[in-house]
């Protein structure tokens, strides 16, 4: 009898992993389906004016979500970003107005006292970086969990913002400052959208193609193994909170420019939307898995969802319920996908 033997060098056929496919492309698929559904039920949705409006609305969240991606990739979290945005925005506003003494001035003396917009941007970023460095130090040196440190930061930075603002907003900036938040390139593309996408591309390159990016993934995947391989885990963890602070400062500057005002209550509730954008985009809360591309898709997805619900006259309270449910489902799916990978 002739026996058939299998050639060990013959290529093997891999079974299609539907869950692996969904884990990778679910946010993009859901975004396409969601946009198609809103286009059918609401004709105004796909107009260029509305689409650019969505991108402009999510640009601030998007900048913060890019920074949050670095933090969550190391299995960390930052609950202080809304408060830090308020504090950094007030710092930028005060510099734009010519300093602390002139921060509440309005009228003829306002323009003469103004400093250039780039100094205001540097002030906001400096405050954000300092806040991120302080929290990173507390997490790595004092061994306090990120949740506790940033929860305390959320209260401390909000209190600092209230103290700095002295109970009132700072508004009325010079035209170049305002253009960074309200201007358009080619009379069509909002400047905040360009800033968001430019920094998203830069962050993608850093995470995907640099040694530092590989270190972030390594620390998030297995910090002990990363330490044993010679990585300075403390430095990497601290650095991601500094990066988060940088994006908080940048987002604060753009937000103040867009509103032509800065106040202590700015950024309230941003934590939920930003973390949702990152998690929905496929970044694992357990660390080590995620991409900037996914975060951008997650940010746009939330913007599309909220915009479509507004166009369909859905209550703002129901919108928050929907976002909360989506966060839970996204984390549940991530946990399920990881359990299947361990079994496989």
Highest mean pLDDT among 14-18, 52-56, 157-161: 157-161
Domain boundaries, the chain: 30-339
Highest mean pLDDT among 67-76, 93-102, 310-319: 67-76
- What does residue 102 show for φ and ψ, rounded to 5 degrees? -105, 10
Q: What is the pLDDT of residues 104-120, one digit of tens each?
A: 555 544 454 578 999 99
pLDDT score recorded for residue 4: 52
The angle subtended at Cα 137 by Cα 331 and Cα 211, nearest 5°, is 65
- In angstroms, the CA 338 to CA 318 distance is 30
E strand intervals along 186-329: 189-190, 261-262
- In angstroms, the CA 241 to CA 77 distance is 9
Confidence band (pLDDT; 50, 70, 90) for 30?
confident
């Amino acid at each position: 009898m002739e026996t058939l033997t299998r050639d060990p060098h013959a290529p093997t056929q891999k079974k299609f992993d539907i869950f692996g496919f969904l884990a990778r492309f679910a946010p993009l698929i859901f975004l396409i389906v969601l946009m198609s559904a809103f286009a059918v039920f609401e004709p105004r949705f796909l107009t260029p004016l509305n689409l650019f409006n969505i991108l402009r609305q999510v640009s601030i969240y998007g900048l913060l979500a890019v920074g949050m991606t670095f933090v969550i990739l190391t299995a960390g979290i930052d609950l202080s970003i809304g408060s830090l945005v308020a504090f950094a925005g007030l710092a930028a506003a005060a510099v734009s107005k010519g300093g602390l003494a002139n921060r509440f001035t309005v009228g003829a003396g306002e323009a003469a006292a103004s400093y250039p917009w780039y100094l205001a941007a540097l002030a906001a970023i400096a405050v954000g970086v300092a806040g991120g460095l302080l929290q990173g130090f507390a997490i790595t040196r004092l061994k306090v969990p990120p949740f506790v440190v940033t929860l305390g930061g959320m209260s401390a930075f909000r209190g600092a913002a209230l103290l700095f603002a002295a109970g009132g907003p700072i508004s009325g900036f010079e035209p170049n400052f305002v253009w960074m938040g309200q201007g358009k390139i080619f009379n069509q593309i909002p400047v905040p959208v360009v800033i968001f996408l430019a920094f998203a591309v830069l962050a993608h390159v850093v995470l995907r193609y640099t040694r530092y990016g590989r270190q972030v993934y390594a620390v998030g995947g297995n910090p002990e193994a990363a330490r044993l391989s010679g990585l300075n885990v403390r430095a990497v963890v601290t650095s991601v909170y500094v990066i988060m602070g940088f994006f908080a400062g940048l987002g604060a500057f753009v937000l103040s420019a867009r509103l032509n005002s800065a106040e202590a209550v700015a950024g309230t509730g941003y934590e939920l939307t930003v973390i949702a954008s990152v998690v929905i985009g496929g970044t694992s809360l357990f660390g080590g898995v995620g991409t900037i591309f996914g975060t951008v898709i997650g940010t746009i997805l939330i913007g599309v969802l909220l915009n479509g619900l507004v166009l369909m006259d859905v209550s703002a309270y129901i919108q928050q319920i929907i976002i909360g449910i989506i966060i839970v489902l996204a984390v549940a799916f991530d946990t399920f996908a990881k359990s299947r990978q361990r079994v496989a």
